Structure 1
Amino acid sequence: MTNAKPDPEVLAAQEQFQREGLAAGDVLTQPVEEARAATRRFQAWLNQGGPQVASVTEHVLGTTPPLQLRIYRPAAEGPLPTYLHIHGGGFALGSLDALDRWKREIAAEAGMIVVGLDYALAPEHPYPAAIDQVLAALRWLRDGATEFGVDGRRLAVGGDSAGGNLALGALLRLRDAGEAGPRLGAIIYGMLSAAHDTPSHRELGDGRFGLSTAKLDWFWTRYLPDAALRQDPAAAPLHAELAGLPEMLLQAAALDPLLDDTLNLDRRLTAAGVPHAMTVYPGVPHGFIGQTAVLEKARAARAEVVAALRRALG
């Protein structure tokens, strides 16, 4: 990591974002509502273009607070395999519109239903509100979403950053409850541990590539007001026993203080005998997958997700 440098495409994209006056919200310098608004503006720009899908439907589950889902259906007949994706944002930022273009691309290319969700955010709703909502969404997709064309026997779940934490946590809870769960988990630069003394934090945590150790500490503190929960496998799933999980796909960004979370998860899945694949994408920072309009490596990562979904779900 000592020679970590952004790809030329990343540098060009960052210059373009600066010209457009766009940046993800910064919780260290902005009130959380301002940071959320800035993040929404940035994501709206990234979401421009991309494919159309046959239908986009919204549905609300009666959780506390209520959970809004967005269901992207491709032009395909019959009950379809379905992928639930959980957005990132440190448990505090992001919305139902996060990765909208990416989710349309996945639906169109995989020929599957893709579902996004607007889970409850911290600090207003700390742990376990979000993970409880993710579990409610997975159980509904498995057992009660046939009217939307969902084949509840062929599910996958994934998430990026904090969403990767929630996806892994949900898989663990379903396993522990002895319930039928998804056939595939996709963990994309997951925010899996509150330990910030790793090599990737020491080398990449200063914020020069966007995400910083200080921001991650802010996120963890708001998500887990009880500091003791930082060691709890239910909240920080890198500490959990991993045997018995389904097939996993791991993706990481080389210029990311969270890189070691993925590398450590890879090692622990191997030790637990869980089938999985991992790709570290060089030259790109945390958050890169949403930039398919401008980054070839974002498109390559998307293609890898599509291929894994097809293999796992048919």
Structure 2
Amino acid sequence: MPETPPTLDPEVLAAQARLREAGVANGDILAPDLSEARAATRRYQAFLNEGGPEVPVVEHRLDTTPALRLRLYRPPGEGPLPAYLHIHGGGFAFGELDSLDRWKREIASEAGIIVVGLEYALAPEHPYPAAIEQVMAALRWLREDAASFGVDGTRLAVGGDSAGGNLALGALLRLRDAGMPMPRLGAIIYGMLSARHQTSSHQQFGSGAFGLSTAKLERFWSHYLPDAALWQAAEAVPLHAELSGLPPLLLQAAALDPLLDDSLALDERLEQAGVPHALTVYEGMPHGFIAQTAFLSKARAARVELTAALLRALR
């Protein structure tokens, strides 16, 4: 019997209709005007961020080059509190401090921990290694200098979605190699971990029918790594790295995503390296689904899974 063609979850189709009614759509990296594509992404994210719990926030600036802005979502409660640094996606070219704002408020409220977002330098204006160096600066600040913000620098976790998953895994590898204190948990959510686009998931889902496409990913990589030799380099593409010695990792993946095989390959390599980890593949979901907690029950389930993992690791 022929296999049933993959289809989007009905909730995703309903959410897409809501987005069309609102006149918002994620920006297209293949569009000729990058600034307008980024503006479209900001409007799209602003719509997804509506609602959710209110959580006090404070912003801080680190004097990196370029300067790095951080936003700390601090729920009520006695401190110091553990902190989770989340690195947003966007192919290294899109995203800002408001990315996943509602999702971060929800996690801070549910977990009772400080959630930290950052606005790292984007490509192509700032190619590798600008973003990863800023992530390292943020982790160093949280560990050493954020006590006045109520952060317990001994109880940290780091994670990221898509390109942010690349940066989160890359930061953990850098900390390991430098012999520095490690966060207690890493979260890699449909990570953009490899520039190899001949995989089964690219062949199945890379047309763009479900949103993200192979062509878009190739453009993202060319912006972030203009030197093509880096496309296979472990320091920039962490799926090529040696993975032993990492803290426990939570992997989340979307079943209808050209990046699915990146998560599956990471799962296999972590198993070989003896790194404690768990992988959940969310069926019927496209890339980027975690941002839609207002519409998708599986986005809420993924958030609950991450929140539980954070609480186990940090408390």
TM-score past 0.5 threshold: yes
Q: Secondary structure at the match of 1:68?
A: strand
Q: Which residue of 1 aligns with 2:29?
A: 27
1:189 is aligned with what amino acid? Y
Give, in whole Å, the separation in 2 of the partners of 1:187 and 1:3.
Answer: 27
Equivalent residue number for residue 267 of structure 1: 268
1:189 alignment counterpart: 190
**Cα root mean square deviation, aligned:** 0.8
* Deviation string, structure 1 residues 62-95 (Cα, Å, up to 9, x no partner): 1000000000000111100100000000000011
How high is the TM-score relative to the length of structure 1?
Answer: 0.99
Alignment of 1:146 with 2:147, yes or no, is: yes
TM-score (norm 2): 0.98
Q: CA deviation at 1:29?
A: 2.1
Q: Distance in 2 between matches of 1:241 and 1:298?
A: 31
Q: Number of aligned pairs?
A: 313
1:155-166 pair list within 5 angstroms: 155-166=156-167
Equivalent residue for 2:168? 167
Distance 1:128 1:196 in 2: 22
Q: Give 1:128-277 correspondences, 5 Å limit.
A: 128-277=129-278
Matches of 2:151 and 2:191, distance apart in 1: 26
Following the alignment from structure 2 to structure 1, what is the Cα–Cα distance between the partners of residues 296 and 118? 25
The 8 Å contact of residues 167 and 185 in structure 1, kept in 2 or not, is answered as yes
What amino acid sits opposite 1:13 in the alignment? A
Give the letter for the 2:22 counterpart: E
Cα deviation for residue 30 of structure 1 reads 3.8
Counterparts of 1:207 and 1:186 in 2: how far apart (Å)?
A: 26
User: 3-state SS of the aligned residue for 2:93?
Assistant: coil
Alpha-carbon distance between aligned partners in 2 of 1:3 and 1:300, rounded to the nearest angstrom: 24
For residues 278 and 202 of structure 2, the distance between their equivalents in structure 1, rounded to whole angstroms, comes to 23
Q: Deviations over 1:173-208 (max 9, x none)?
A: 000000002110000000000000000001100001
Query: Cα distance, 1:21 vs. partner?
Result: 1.1
Gaps of 5+ in 2: none
Deviation, structure 1 residue 43: 0.2
- Aligned amino acid, residue 100 of structure 1: D
Secondary structure in 1 matching 2:212: coil
Distance in 1 (alpha carbons) for counterparts of 2:58 and 2:294:
24
The 2-side partners of 1:3 and 1:108 are apart by 39
Q: Mapping of 1:86-125 within 5 angstroms?
A: 86-125=87-126
Give the SS at the match of 2:171.
helix
Amino acid at match of 1:152: G
Q: CA contact under 8 A between 1:2 and 1:203: conserved in structure 2?
A: no
Find the residue that maps to 2:85 and give its secondary structure.
strand
Instruction: Give ranges in structure 1 of 5+ residues lacking alignment.
Output: none
Partner-residue secondary structure (3-state), 1:155: strand
**Identity percentage over the alignment?**
73
1:74–1:111 Cα contact (<8 Å) kept:
yes
Q: Secondary structure at the match of 1:29?
A: coil
Shift of 1:128: 0.1
| Cross-structure match for 1:50 | 52
